[in-house]
Homo-oligomer: A and B are copies of this chain.
Amino acid sequence: MIIDLEKVPTETGSNYPDEFKSMVAGRIRQRLGNFAGLKNFGVNLVKLEPGSSSALRHWHSHQDEFIYVLEGELTLITDVGAEVLKPGMAAGFPAGEANGHHLVNRTSTIAVYLEVGDRTPNDEATFPDDDLITKASPDGKSRIFAHKDGTLY
């Protein structure tokens, strides 16, 4: 089915613990894949406002990730440092590769990109810059956020 972008809900906000929510306050997502009924992977069209981040810097144990820049300019932060991504550029983050990554909009105009991620179970995310770990909840339907000492948020 063709996905009518005007009918796909826009989502802001985050399920991060409160102290981290401001990092992604300017992230506006449309879940195109979910809208079309896809279940094996998600494809989101994301608009990132100036100053905002795609996520906290993180890497996944079991899930691959991919992004493709459509408009504007994004800075990719990894262990390598900061690298600028322009429209037509892409990046991939294989599951289990322990190199935390996120995108930051360091410009004064909005940036737009596609992000793809799968739903492989038993995934955990590691956040090298923050006192945070996540893992899937026992029912697999949500994520549990904890401090690195295991204390729940």
Q: State whether B1 touches A32 (Cβ < 8 A).
A: no
Judge if A77 is at the interface, Cβ distance under 8 Å.
Answer: no
Judge if A152 is at the interface, Cβ distance under 8 Å.
Answer: no
* Given A41-B41, A116-B43, A120-B40, CB of A32 within 8 Å of CB of B2: no
Judge if A64 is at the interface, Cβ distance under 8 Å.
Answer: yes
Judge if A28 is at the interface, Cβ distance under 8 Å.
Answer: no
Q: Which residue of B lies closest to A30 (CB)?
A: B90
A139 smallest CB distance to B (angstroms): 21
Q: Which residue of B lies closest to A43 (CB)?
A: B66
- Other-chain residue from B36, B37, B85, B92 in contact with A32 (beta carbon distance below 8 A): B92
Chain A contacts to B: CB under 8 angstroms: 1-3, 5, 32-33, 35-41, 43, 45, 63-64, 66, 68, 76, 83, 85, 88-95, 97, 114, 116, 118, 120
